[in-house]
Structure 1
Amino acid sequence: MPAPKTLMRLAGAVASSLGAAALLAFAVTTPARADADSARLSLARSLATLKTGNFSAARNHAQAAIKEDPNWGLAHAVLARTYLSLGDGLGAEAELDRAKAAGFDVKRAQQLYAHAYLLQGDAKRALRTAATVEPRFSGYAVRVGARALAAQGDFPGARQVLVDFLSVDPANSAAWSDLGRVRFDSGDIGGAIVAATKATELDPANLEALTLRGELVRGQYGLVAALPWFEAALARDAYYHPALIEYASTLGDAGRYGDMLAATRRALAARPDSAQAFYLQAVLAARAGNYDLARTLMQRTGEALNGLPGALLLGGTLDYESGGYEQAINKWRELVGRQPMNITARRLLGAALLRSGDAQGALDVLRPVAMRFDADSYTLTLVARAFERTGERDWAGKFLDRAAFPARDGSVPFGTDDSLAVLGGLANDNPDDPVRRIVFLRGLVDAGDNAEALAQAQALARMAPGAPAAHLAVGDMLMVMKRYDDAAAAYRHAADIRFDEPTMLRIVDALDRAGHRSEASNVLALFLSQNPQNIAGQRLAAHWQIAAGEFAAAIETLEGLRQRIGNRDAALLTELSYAYIGDGDDVTGLSYAKAAYRLAPLNPATTDAYGWALYQGGNNGAAVQLLEKAVAIAPEHAMLRWHLGQAYADLGRGADARAQVDAALSDPTFTDREAAAALLKTI
């Protein structure tokens, strides 16, 4: 296998790759057929459209040239080049073989063969072939070699090869886009943004760079901001498959399902066997509740998406819906193995294992999530049920108590079973590996060494300034240390590179805890303007709408969520109850409060909502019982005490009312202070 230095020796004689310019040089060869002029014209059109980025048209013109002269080797070579631009390695290899059979000099095509092997997933063969390329085509060969190194996991080697190459040929747009992709895949998002931007500036017809820019902008600014980049690529080639797939995915996440379906159909027109397009259509069908259609579409993907996280998640869901619990468990177990921090996958796998009777297996899977301070009530309830199955009712009770609690501490990283010595050794064995650094960081947090953990996180951010995870690690440590303003600043560094849901939630939480609610609201509003279908963002927006007294707006937000996620979410129904009561519709508010209480009778928030709804309807006696229960479960929650205090006051229990209102006012985070102070004057 050629090392990066070998590839750079190839680059030492950089002339021109076998791209459009080099192929034009081959046009001195003339077809032998009588319709040589027609074939030559078609091939010239192919080369011209290839240069402008219309790869599909270039392919069609090359095919026309071959139809006019089937034995013209150059035409087959040009057609192969268009197939490579379209990502079809098998088609390219076949055309290169035809070109060789027709007399085309195979020495001129080794870089194309190398690219074809790479697209077929044979990185080793691509590297071997790239090492045999003639010096005049070494630029292309170096690029293929670098991408082959990345495909084998050698991201540092791939980056170095491309950086060295660009020091010799800094105006090579294709090499810049290759560097951007390698950096993106290795987690250096900031570096990827720089490289992709440079690539598009050098060549606006670089479809790979335009598509990459769309992917990067999607993470950096949001879904809506990314769409014009994909559209720019499709404006040059309406059937460019990679852009169509990313475009369709982004449209779907933005809630534009009709446009998403249209984009997938165009992708299938461009590539009839497109597994990605069938997968996206399956996602669309599953979202609409048509699981039979979704299963049929997933079957059409064959084995092309085996092992991919999204396909495993959806495939397991479809198996589970049809009663194939073992198949679902196998898929989700593989997904958790590939993405051990995927909380959604762990929840699904834990629930499936519990249903299959493997309570201990469910506990093993859910433990890393349940041990987090911010564990959700559903996961905690699953763990409690699993402990019940194993006969450990004392532990079941503890987790049921946690599941019922309305407020949770801030998020912390996953725990780890490895010792600090082991984790430190792993980090020291490969100090340039950010993943191992972060794992070691988690070990330090679990051991309580926050100062050292912060120092490690800051060192990681200096080592990998373009990696959002590094800045998030710094912010997380500062949050643990309650340095909220500093944490918000660290999270902003991450958001400058990738502004996704986890980053948004961290910034909003840090700003809110630091007392900057208006700034936090602006961050949330910006995120939702780009990601209008985001559930976590909409939940938070609705909660703040209720807090601000914007009840009609909250109802609109929450009802939209209810239509999407159903009627089994107690927290959502609780918020709807508060919103309707605040808007003056006590009857609807009471119905939602009852439904929420039936789902979670031990949750103080749902209990309070039911009691508050009864209180608003004038049923003070029943209301007080529920409000007292809520306070008994969560006595430190100021809003629960405030509600109970108001009910006591109306019943003439002045001393009890004063005690509850004073307790609410003692909490500095309690916001309804003016009304509480006014009530105290009347008691």
Structure 2
Amino acid sequence: MRKPLLLAGVTAAAIAVTAIVSLAGTPARADANSAKASLAKSLAALKIGNASAARSNAMDAVKADSGWGLAHAVLARAYLGLGDGIAAEAELDRAKAAGFDAGRAHQLYAHAWLLQGDPARAIVEAGKAPPKFAGYAVRVGARALAAQGDLPGAQKALATVLAAAPNDSAAWSDLGRVRYDTGDMAGAIQAASKAIALDPANLEALTLRGELVRGQYGLLAALPWFEAALKKDYYYHPALIEYAGTLGDAGRYADMLDATRRALATRPDSAQAFYLQAVLAARSGNYDLARTLTQRTTGKLDGLPGALLLDGMLDYQAASYEQAINKWRELVGRQPMNVTARRLLGAALLRSGDAQGALDVLRPVALRGDADSYTLALVGRAFERTGERNWANQFLDRAAFPAGGSSAPFGVDDDVAVLGGLAKDDPADPVRRVAYLRGLVEAGDTGQALAQAQALARLSPGAPAAHLAVGDTFAALGRYADAASAYRRAADIRFDEPVMLRLIDALDRSGQRAEAANVLALFLSQNPQNIAGQRLAARWQIAGGDFDAAIETLEGLRIRVGNRDATLLSDLAFAYIGADDEDTGLSYAKAAYRIAPLNPAVTDAYGWALYQTGDDKGAAQLLEKAVAIAPQHATLRWHLGQVYADLGRGGEAKAQIGAAMSDPGFADRAAAAAVLKTLG
């Protein structure tokens, strides 16, 4: 759920237009024609959604006649349109002091207080608005309810507005935002599109549509929507913030910096702009600058997930481990399914000496079928420190194996009855419902799990998580084609990394490799900086013999993630060897092996590199080690079989190659059969 602070720009510009005519009708006391002309320009700018120009012209009107209450009121409306509740309240106070009718300002004050993060006060004040401004007041009240977490109440309030005024663009964009916060992405898309159709100058709707498109189609597809809003108001702060963040995720850092500077030009104390600049500084390794910039947010973003993650990383980098732990613990509490946050918190707890705390945090991630080696190694080390050697060995052994599971969100280790009770206590909580479904799957009750998942999808057809639950259950049943269909429905609503990974895995496992490749290409076309997508693309490039492309992809990744990723280095070894650069391949393989000598994939890469450079005996030793660690891995046996064949150990070669071919998923079947034929 988006936090109240980020609601600051949710519907400000669209609301700003609503009461303009009424305000304009207030008796004016302007003494100068210039003040009247400036105010007319301000009102015109508000009508076309340009709150920045409206503010500038209203300020000119106030300067020309500082005693004109209406000018101060219109300036307040412009500030509301820009999401600046503090400045708006100050202008409303000046308007009242200059004679503006206080009875006409209740909804304006309510809006200002909402933007300042005081939804309770906003609700009370909105209730005082006269019937003439009821629509505006109810919308502010609905947004305040949403800020308090009462999303059903907010939707109900907005439904009353739309029942009376079905063509109210601002109400539709408010409804879109509330639906977005409830996870109803399809409903949010419908509402935002309706708002734009009714009023193309609704900048809040354009910005919301950009956010939705970013999730639905990708980063690059979202940029034109933010740009459309900024064409109408070059300094519209909410769009600038979303635009800057999207540019940064797409790797366009110079453009990101420019957008944050524009945001600071219109709002010099913009905490969001300083935060984004801090993220940019941290990404470039300038941690001192990042800390300075986070301090300039003056605590306004404290508690928000992104800020907690960044602040914790800066604390950890500065060896302030307890501070990092406190921030990441709060983040995990807010986002219990955030794998990155759990991994970071677990590592920090282990480093601080709290091995049991690390186990508690990391257990849901380590129970995943595709748990990464780093997390598994952390769990293994934590068990070592608690004296549980058997458990430690199990997880350390898993850490050395190539991941073989699918990308399900979490494993579970709670009793199904407990999970079911939690879900019944709060049936509207999708996290509890999904946890219960996974508990049913783990307990082997897949039939009940599937029925529950499908019921959840029928109840919330616009929520991607519901369709993911159906797909995950089908995947647990081995029905990958059905899983792919469910994941497609989720992807039609929100095409992010978890959905992409699941969909590709299900398509690949159901024999639809070409379609899986198309999905990956589409995702990377919109999210070119996504690390998981690039890793997968590189491996497919290697498998397809496109080694030069794989090298380009992997070297780009290495620049970003560094030289301590053993899997990445071993992939580079295979790519360079495939491109006939055995020496470079061998150097990468050695580097990977130094980092992870017990990882069978890394050991295999080193052995294969030695084989390609003519060291058959050294290759045999390493490949034997790899097979001993992961005897079920067909590719490792295939590599060892080829080395044995060249060493003249025909019987052993046949045994290894035969074992590889017994795996239905073994891809090099034709080449293996040809080698077996030469062995007689």
What is the distance in 1 between the residues matched to 2:413 and 2:137? Answer: 45
Deviation for aligned residue 1:360 = 2.0
Q: Is residue 282 of structure 1 aligned with residue 278 of structure 2?
A: yes
Deviates more, 1:67-76 or 1:362-371: 362-371
Q: Which amino acid aligns with 1:117?
A: W
Q: Is residue 421 of structure 1 aligned with residue 417 of structure 2?
A: yes
1:510-551 deviations in Å (ceiling 9; x for gaps): 000001110000000000000000000000000000000100
Q: Is residue 145 of structure 1 aligned with residue 150 of structure 2?
A: no
Q: Which amino acid aligns with 2:21?
A: L
Deviation for aligned residue 1:445 = 2.4
Runs (4 or more) in structure 1 with deviation over 6 Å come to: none
What is the distance in 2 between the residues matched to 1:629 and 1:26? Answer: 81
1:157-194 deviations in Å (ceiling 9; x for gaps): 11122123212211110000000000001111110000
Match of 2:531 in 1: 535
What is the distance in 2 between the residues matched to 1:416 and 1:508? Answer: 24
What is the distance in 1 between the residues matched to 2:423 and 2:385? Answer: 39
1:228-281 deviations in Å (ceiling 9; x for gaps): 000000001111110000000000000000000000111111111111111111
Match of 1:167 in 2: 163
What is the distance in 2 between the residues matched to 1:355 and 1:484? Answer: 40
What is the distance in 2 between the residues matched to 1:455 and 1:135? Answer: 48
Match of 1:226 in 2: 222
Q: 1:424 to 1:396 in 2, by over 3 A?
A: closer
Task: From 332, 338, 345, give the equivalent of 1:342.
Answer: 338
In the superposition, the TM-score normalised over structure 2's length comes to: 0.96
Match of 1:361 in 2: 357
What is the distance in 2 between the residues matched to 1:273 and 1:650? Answer: 70
What is the distance in 2 between the residues matched to 1:323 and 1:191? Answer: 45
Match of 2:241 in 1: 245
Q: Is residue 471 of structure 1 aligned with residue 467 of structure 2?
A: yes
Q: Is residue 24 of structure 1 aligned with residue 21 of structure 2?
A: yes
Q: Which amino acid aligns with 1:572?
A: L
Matches for 1:181-192 after TM superposition, within 5 Å: 181-192=177-188
What is the distance in 1 between the residues matched to 2:137 and 2:588? Answer: 65
Q: 1:202 to 1:401 in 2, by over 3 A?
A: same
Q: Is residue 297 of structure 1 aligned with residue 298 of structure 2?
A: no
Deviation for aligned residue 1:657 = 1.0
What is the distance in 2 between the residues matched to 1:519 and 1:371? Answer: 29
Deviation for aligned residue 1:441 = 1.7
What is the distance in 2 between the residues matched to 1:629 and 1:429? Answer: 51
Match of 2:4 in 1: none
Deviates more, 1:108-117 or 1:441-450: 441-450
Q: 1:409 to 1:31 in 2, by over 3 A?
A: closer
Deviation for aligned residue 1:317 = 0.8
Task: From 447, 450, 460, give the equivalent of 2:443.
Answer: 447
Q: Is residue 97 of structure 1 aligned with residue 90 of structure 2?
A: no
Q: Which amino acid aligns with 1:97?
A: D
Q: Is residue 388 of structure 1 aligned with residue 384 of structure 2?
A: yes
Deviates more, 1:401-410 or 1:242-251: 401-410
What is the distance in 2 between the residues matched to 1:546 and 1:424? Answer: 45
Is the 1:197–1:213 contact (alpha carbons within 8 Å) kept by the matching residues of 2?
yes
1:4-39 deviations in Å (ceiling 9; x for gaps): xxxxxxxxxxxxx9854643344455544541x211
SS at match of 1:306: coil
Instruction: Give the aligned length.
Output: 666
Matches for 1:114-125 after TM superposition, within 5 Å: 114-125=110-121
Deviates more, 1:160-169 or 1:251-260: 160-169
Q: Which amino acid aligns with 2:64?
A: E
What is the distance in 2 between the residues matched to 1:432 and 1:289? Answer: 42
Q: Which amino acid aligns with 1:253?
A: D
Q: Which amino acid aligns with 2:96?
A: K
Match of 1:6 in 2: none
What is the distance in 2 between the residues matched to 1:645 and 1:90? Answer: 73
Q: Which amino acid aligns with 1:522?
A: N
Q: Is residue 634 of structure 1 aligned with residue 630 of structure 2?
A: yes
Match of 2:589 in 1: 593
Task: From 36, 50, 53, give the equivalent of 2:46.
Answer: 50
1:50-73 deviations in Å (ceiling 9; x for gaps): 111110010010111111111111
Q: 1:641 to 1:175 in 2, by over 3 A?
A: same
Is the 1:413–1:442 contact (alpha carbons within 8 Å) kept by the matching residues of 2?
no
Deviation for aligned residue 1:435 = 3.2
Task: From 647, 650, 668, give the equivalent of 1:651.
Answer: 647
Is the 1:295–1:318 contact (alpha carbons within 8 Å) kept by the matching residues of 2?
yes
Task: From 232, 241, 253, give the equivalent of 1:257.
Answer: 253
Task: From 427, 450, 460, give the equivalent of 2:456.
Answer: 460
Q: Which amino acid aligns with 1:660?
A: Q
Q: 1:18 to 1:668 in 2, by over 3 A?
A: closer
Deviates more, 1:535-544 or 1:598-607: 598-607
Match of 1:76 in 2: 72
Q: Is residue 614 of structure 1 aligned with residue 592 of structure 2?
A: no
Task: From 479, 483, 486, give the equivalent of 2:479.
Answer: 483
Q: Which amino acid aligns with 1:600?
A: A
What is the distance in 1 between the residues matched to 2:110 and 2:356? Answer: 50
What is the distance in 1 between the residues matched to 2:431 and 2:584? Answer: 50
What is the distance in 2 between the residues matched to 1:307 and 1:493? Answer: 33
What is the distance in 1 between the residues matched to 2:165 and 2:433? Answer: 34
Q: 1:654 to 1:463 in 2, by over 3 A?
A: same
What is the distance in 1 between the residues matched to 2:359 and 2:75? Answer: 56
Deviates more, 1:513-522 or 1:417-426: 417-426
Q: 1:320 to 1:433 in 2, by over 3 A?
A: closer
Q: 1:357 to 1:223 in 2, by over 3 A?
A: same
Q: 1:33 to 1:203 in 2, by over 3 A?
A: closer
Is the 1:31–1:69 contact (alpha carbons within 8 Å) kept by the matching residues of 2?
no
Is the 2:119–2:148 contact (alpha carbons within 8 Å) kept by the matching residues of 1?
yes
Q: 1:533 to 1:26 in 2, by over 3 A?
A: closer
What is the distance in 2 between the residues matched to 1:376 and 1:456? Answer: 29
Task: From 136, 155, 180, give the equivalent of 2:151.
Answer: 155
What is the distance in 1 between the residues matched to 2:380 and 2:26? Answer: 77
Deviation for aligned residue 1:468 = 0.4
Is the 2:16–2:81 contact (alpha carbons within 8 Å) kept by the matching residues of 1?
no
What is the distance in 2 between the residues matched to 1:601 and 1:18? Answer: 62
Q: 1:21 to 1:38 in 2, by over 3 A?
A: farther
Q: What are the ranges of 5 or more consecutive residues in structure 2 without an aligned counterpart?
A: 1-13
SS at match of 1:213: helix
Q: 1:423 to 1:169 in 2, by over 3 A?
A: same
Is the 1:222–1:500 contact (alpha carbons within 8 Å) kept by the matching residues of 2?
yes
What is the distance in 1 between the residues matched to 2:310 and 2:386? Answer: 30
1:568-587 deviations in Å (ceiling 9; x for gaps): 00100010000000000000
What is the distance in 2 between the residues matched to 1:256 and 1:550? Answer: 27
Q: 1:495 to 1:59 in 2, by over 3 A?
A: same
Q: 1:420 to 1:651 in 2, by over 3 A?
A: closer
SS at match of 1:304: coil
Match of 1:5 in 2: none
What is the distance in 2 between the residues matched to 1:132 and 1:250? Answer: 40
Matches for 1:313-324 after TM superposition, within 5 Å: 313-324=309-320
What is the distance in 1 between the residues matched to 2:25 and 2:607? Answer: 87
Deviates more, 1:418-427 or 1:95-104: 418-427
Matches for 1:575-590 after TM superposition, within 5 Å: 575-590=571-586
What is the distance in 2 between the residues matched to 1:55 and 1:146? Answer: 22
SS at match of 2:105: helix
What is the distance in 2 between the residues matched to 1:532 and 1:584? Answer: 27
What is the distance in 1 between the residues matched to 2:450 and 2:643? Answer: 47
Deviation for aligned residue 1:111 = 1.1
Match of 2:557 in 1: 561
Name the % identity. Answer: 74
Q: 1:404 to 1:418 in 2, by over 3 A?
A: closer
Match of 2:63 in 1: 67
